């Protein structure tokens, strides 16, 4: 059993990802509003040194907030399908600004 996390910067893909999860049989997911550390620092007014100024310049054209999707998936095959589905929708996740995805093993789940 694993939990799949997706930090999605390109929010226009959210519905496509959720629709694909329904299509392949993922039973549910939780979506949280989230913000990256760089965005939080530069938007707090505390980032006054040159390093934070460079980050602020970089982030001016990006979205300051994102969505974090997570779902617990019991079946390894379904997990693989979900990962492949997200990769297909988002394309090259190594491009900056798309987001990130990772899995973690889960020991115990209550209320699933």
How confident is residue 65, by pLDDT bands cut at 50, 70 and 90? confident
Q: Spell out the domains of the chain, with CATH numbers in brackets.
A: 2-35+66-105 (3.30.70.120)
How confident is residue 89, by pLDDT bands cut at 50, 70 and 90? very high
The residue assigned the tokens 């209550």 is: 110
How confident is residue 94, by pLDDT bands cut at 50, 70 and 90? confident
Q: Are 88 and 59 within 8 A, CB to CB?
A: no
Nearest to 97 by CA among 13, 41, 1, 5: 13
pTM of the shown model: 0.81
Average pLDDT (43-62) is: 55
End-to-end CA distance of the chain: 12
d(CA 19, CA 65): 22
Average pLDDT (58-85) is: 85
């Amino acid at each position: 059993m694993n939990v799949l996390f997706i930090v999605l910067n390109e929010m226009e893909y959210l519905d496509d990802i959720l629709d694909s999860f329904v299509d392949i049989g993922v039973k549910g997911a939780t979506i949280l509003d989230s913000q990256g550390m760089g965005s939080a620092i530069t938007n707090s007014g505390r980032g006054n040194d040159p390093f934070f100024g460079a980050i602020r310049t970089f982030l001016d054209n990006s979205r300051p907030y994102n969505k974090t999707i997570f779902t617990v998936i019991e079946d390894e095959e379904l997990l693989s399908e979900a990962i492949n589905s997200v990769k297909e929708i988002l394309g090259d996740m190594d491009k900056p600004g798309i987001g990130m995805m990772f899995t973690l093993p889960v020991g115990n789940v209550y209320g699933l």
